[in-house]
Amino acid sequence: MKSVLAFEDLGEDFHALYRTVLVDTPVGKYFTQFLREVAEESAASDIEHVRATFAEIPMPLIENSVKKYYLEDFYAFCEGVGGETAAVMCALLSARADITSVNITVNSLHTDLSRVRSRMVWS
């Protein structure tokens, strides 16, 4: 069914990208969360805004934010399961998040990216 779809102009393309990525996938909620945070509330519901956002915001920023939401979600899930899962996975995920934040901090030294840095710090 999907193979019939052909996307001629960019507008259509983003429409489909948005619809499939953000609505139909289990990871869609992280992308929506990201869009909600970077732009005003209306952004996630307006296709033009979504297109502008993905074009404007640098890829690493999108990647790190989405990963952050994912890690937080995973962390919350492991905490909820409890027991050994929580003991092992929470430590692992924290370390993972720490690595990411250290990485970002190091890479944004001497640049005017304090906004970026502050967003990335993860408990």
Partner 1 sequence: MSLDIALWNMENGFVEGLIRGLRSTFLTDTEYANLKEGGKRAPGGAGGGSQKEDFEDMRLSLQETDYGTFLAAEPSLDPKLIGLRATAKWVREMRYVRSTATGDLAKFLDFVSYEYMIDNILDLIKAATSSQTVDAQAVVAGCHPLGACARARGYPSASSAHRLSPALPSSIPCRRHRLQACSKSL
Residues at the site binding partner 1, with contacts judged by CB under 8 A:
2-3, 5-8, 10, 13-32, 44-47, 54-55, 59, 62-63, 66-67, 70, 73-74, 77-78, 81, 85
Whichever of 38 and 66 has its CB closer to partner 1, that residue is 66
Whichever of 26 and 112 has its CB closer to partner 1, that residue is 26
> What sign does the CA torsion over 37, 41, 44, 48 have?
negative
Please provide the DSSP assignment of 39-54 as one string: S-GGGGG-HHHHHHHH
Whichever of 10 and 99 has its CB closer to partner 1, that residue is 10
State the minimum distance, in angstroms, from the CB of residue 94 to partner 1.
Answer: 15
State the minimum distance, in angstroms, from the CB of residue 110 to partner 1.
Answer: 26
**């840095």: which residue's tokens?**
117
State the minimum distance, in angstroms, from the CB of residue 59 to partner 1.
Answer: 6
Token digits for 106? Answer: 């190091």
- Cα 70 to Cα 79: distance, rounded to the nearest angstrom: 14
State the minimum distance, in angstroms, from the CB of residue 115 to partner 1.
Answer: 21
Whichever of 62 and 113 has its CB closer to partner 1, that residue is 62
Token digits for 99? Answer: 């690595």
Q: Are 85 and 78 in contact (CB under 8 A)?
A: yes
